């Protein structure tokens, strides 16, 4: 937990738009962070947009965007976000204007958190902020990215990568996942879930989930596994076996597993573990239940199992996670 990053309320987010900016990526930070509020409705983030020189830039959707700020906005931002681009030097030859690179490096050196959505990773890499780091971008641009930036440890198979003060996401909806991840990291699951509800999006997808899921158009709701997933969510405190889920969906185990993976990108066992971990996270944040009791309520059975899986997914032990929340 990087709770120190959320101490300034509202936390100042600067979105840096360059020529060819992807329209959805441009709007995502304002939408998600703008929806993040306290229980009393107080905004947790203040989002503003800038361009080099405060000049209009063209979007990939066929319209121009006129910002309210120039690069000076990055001088005081707590978080800087670079949305994806579909044109320009960063994609063509791996370079970026010196003034942009200098502004990004200065913000990072000053202590700001720096993020990219989709092909915005090309901009961060061109500025030298991804050298030697793990990162991701849209899977379709991975070969070009590797060719231009061989020193970056690119993983095109995940939704997002959190490497401390530098975070990158895959394309399109993965930018929403990254922003919600940041809200959850800064302010906890309750705040992230409230923001997700306001945005009408799923509250959490694991950053390590596959970017590309081969999924045919469903022939009808009877063939899906959504109802069974909801059924299983209501029974996380109980042993839920694969055969039980298949029986609920009225499918054979083999057919159910195939449908489940095509719809979620995960096996039923992986998905259940993800749901149990998230439920344990919420209980740690919002209740005074003992870790032993949380292990039971989340379906892990033993404290040792909870500790093992929680640390593997969240990065800290359950007790340390709870203490970090209480200290915030």
Pairwise pLDDT comparison (213 vs 188), residue with the higher score: 188
Find the radius of gyration of the CA atoms of the chain.
21
**232-256 tens-digit pLDDT:** 999 999 999 999 999 999 999 999 9
**140-178 tens-digit pLDDT:** 999 999 999 999 999 988 889 999 999 999 988 899 999
Mean pLDDT of the 98-112 span: 98
Q: Which of 74, 59, 43, 307 is nearest to 187 (CA)?
A: 43
**55-91 tens-digit pLDDT:** 999 999 999 999 999 999 999 999 999 999 999 999 9
Percentage of residues in the chain having pLDDT higher than 70: 89
User: Strand 11-16 and strand 79-82: pairing?
Assistant: parallel
**296-319 tens-digit pLDDT:** 999 999 999 999 998 887 777 899
Please tell me whether residue 291 adopts helix, strand or coil conformation.
helix
DSSP β-bridge partners for residue 166: 114, 163
Label residue 217 by pLDDT band (50, 70, 90).
Answer: very low
**Integer angstrom CA distances of residue 291 from 305, 306, 309, 325:** 11, 9, 13, 15
Residue 220 has pLDDT above 90, yes or no: no
Active site residues: 118
Q: Which of 50-64, 99-113, 221-235 has the lowest mean pLDDT?
A: 221-235
**Integer angstrom CA distances of residue 277 from 56, 63, 100, 110, 162:** 44, 43, 40, 34, 18
Q: Which helix (H) or strand (E) holds 48?
A: strand 45-50
Q: What is the spatial distance between Cα 139 and Cα 157, in angstroms, rounded to a whole number?
A: 7
Contact indicator for 64, 37 with CB cutoff of 8 Å = no
Residue 208 has pLDDT above 80, yes or no: no
Q: What is the spatial distance between Cα 52 and Cα 60, in angstroms, rounded to a whole number?
A: 17
Question: What is the reported pLDDT for 209?
Answer: 53
């Amino acid at each position: 937990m990087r709770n120190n990053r959320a101490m300034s309320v509202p936390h100042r987010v600067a979105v840096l738009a360059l020529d060819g900016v992807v329209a959805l990526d441009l709007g995502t930070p304002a939408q998600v962070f703008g929806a993040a509020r306290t229980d009393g409705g107080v905004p947790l983030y203040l989002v503003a947009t800038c361009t080099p020189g405060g000049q209009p830039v063209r979007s990939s959707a066929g319209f121009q965007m006129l910002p309210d700020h120039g690069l000076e906005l990055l001088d005081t931002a707590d978080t800087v976000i670079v949305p994806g681009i579909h044109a320009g030097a960063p994609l063509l030859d791996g370079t970026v204007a010196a003034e942009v690179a200098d502004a990004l490096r200065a913000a990072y050196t000053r202590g700001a958190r720096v993020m990219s959505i989709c092909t915005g990773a090309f901009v961060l890499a061109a500025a030298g902020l991804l050298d030697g780091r793990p990162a991701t971008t849209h899977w379709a641009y991975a070969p070009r990215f590797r060719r231009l930036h061989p020193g970056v440890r690119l993983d095109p198979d995940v939704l997002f990568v959190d490497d401390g003060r530098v975070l990158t996401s895959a394309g399109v909806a993965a930018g929403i996942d990254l922003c919600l991840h940041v809200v959850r990291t800064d302010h906890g699951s309750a705040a992230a879930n409230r923001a997700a509800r306001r945005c009408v999006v799923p509250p959490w997808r694991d950053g390590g989930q596959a970017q590309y899921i081969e999924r045919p158009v469903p022939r009808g709701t009877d063939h899906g596994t959504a109802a069974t997933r909801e059924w299983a969510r209501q029974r996380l405190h109980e042993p839920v076996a694969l055969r039980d889920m298949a029986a609920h969906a009225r499918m054979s185990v083999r057919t159910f597993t195939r449908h489940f993976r095509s719809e979620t990108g995960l096996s039923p066992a992986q998905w259940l573990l993800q749901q149990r971990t998230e439920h344990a996270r919420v209980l740690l944040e919002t209740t005074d239940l003992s870790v032993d009791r949380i292990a039971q309520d989340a379906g892990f059975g033993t404290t040792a199992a909870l500790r093992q899986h929680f640390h593997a997914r969240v990065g800290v032990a359950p007790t340390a996670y709870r203490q970090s929340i209480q200290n915030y």
